[in-house]
Structure 1
């Protein structure tokens, strides 16, 4: 009987399962600072994209969306987590949504045209895709089957 209970507490290689299942740790100060910096960088890319996209209609729109995609994918790869991509995307989304509001003086940044809507909706779609494609945390063991 002791052999059977011993087997249930161990993985296939004979190591304890606690080595494979590591608990989540709170983020370090450096990781929080990196996420905050990526949030601000996402906001800057959002403002730049809002200014570039109406300049040359198809080219400016593609350039603005490519800049956001590069930032989000690069942030995810740099931090090796979805938090990096989500931080950059969050800064972009918040700034672009704030820029869509018109002021009492009648000033606005986005015209009511197809390019503006493609920039808003396409940018949100790019942010979601990049945050989904970012690498996730994997177990340290080599022979771990993630499907089970």
Structure 2
């Protein structure tokens, strides 16, 4: 057993810390940007049915995947996805006057379910925190 062993205080053994003020502000800005993307997509997708739907879903995918890659963490992809989901869910509720934004057509359902699927895929593809250390494999 002639190999280096990890110290007990490895990166994964350390407790999680709350995010810094700058990172929290970044996540809040990404959340608001995701909400704005959700509202814009909800208005765009019924306008030009197949093209608007694809454009709205591509905008969400670009925002979530780009934010995850830019921050280097999965939280960067989850923050705009959560903002998108909250905005879209709030837009689906009808008002007491009977006004609503989403029609009962296939495009609206594809936008809702497709947006959720895109958010899950982007959050899954986002980079995760890796333990520090060398790039060599550990031996048993």
Q: TM-score, normalised by structure 1?
A: 0.85
Q: Is the 8 A contact 1:86 1:127 kept in 2?
A: yes
Residue 16 of structure 1 corresponds to 7
Runs of 5+ unmatched residues, structure 2: none
Residue 55 of structure 2 corresponds to 63
Q: Give the Cα separation in 2 of the matches to 1:14 and 1:62.
A: 50
Q: Does 2:125 match 1:139?
A: no
Cα pair distance change 1:15/1:82, threshold 3 Å: closer
Cα pair distance change 1:17/1:104, threshold 3 Å: same
Residue 113 of structure 2 corresponds to 121
* Count of residue pairs brought into register by the alignment: 138
Q: Does 2:68 match 1:46?
A: no
Cα pair distance change 1:21/1:102, threshold 3 Å: closer
Cα pair distance change 1:140/1:51, threshold 3 Å: same
Q: Is the 8 A contact 1:42 1:68 kept in 2?
A: yes
Q: Give the Cα separation in 2 of the matches to 1:97 and 1:54.
A: 16
Residue 76 of structure 1 corresponds to 68
Q: Give the Cα separation in 2 of the matches to 1:90 and 1:20.
A: 27
Rg comparison, structure with higher value? 1
Q: Is the 8 A contact 1:20 1:141 kept in 2?
A: no
Cα pair distance change 1:98/1:90, threshold 3 Å: same
2:117 aligned counterpart, secondary structure: helix
Q: Is the 8 A contact 1:47 1:95 kept in 2?
A: yes
Give the 5 Å matches for 1:28-43.
28-43=20-35
Q: Give the Cα separation in 2 of the matches to 1:34 and 1:117.
A: 31
Stretch deviating more after TM superposition (122-131 or 137-146): 137-146
Residue 122 of structure 2 corresponds to 130
Q: Give the Cα separation in 1 of the matches to 2:42 and 2:6.
A: 54
- 1:143 Cα deviation from its structure 2 partner: 3.6
Task: Tell me how large the CA RMSD over aligned residues is.
Answer: 2.1
Cα pair distance change 1:117/1:16, threshold 3 Å: same
Runs of 5+ unmatched residues, structure 1: 1-6
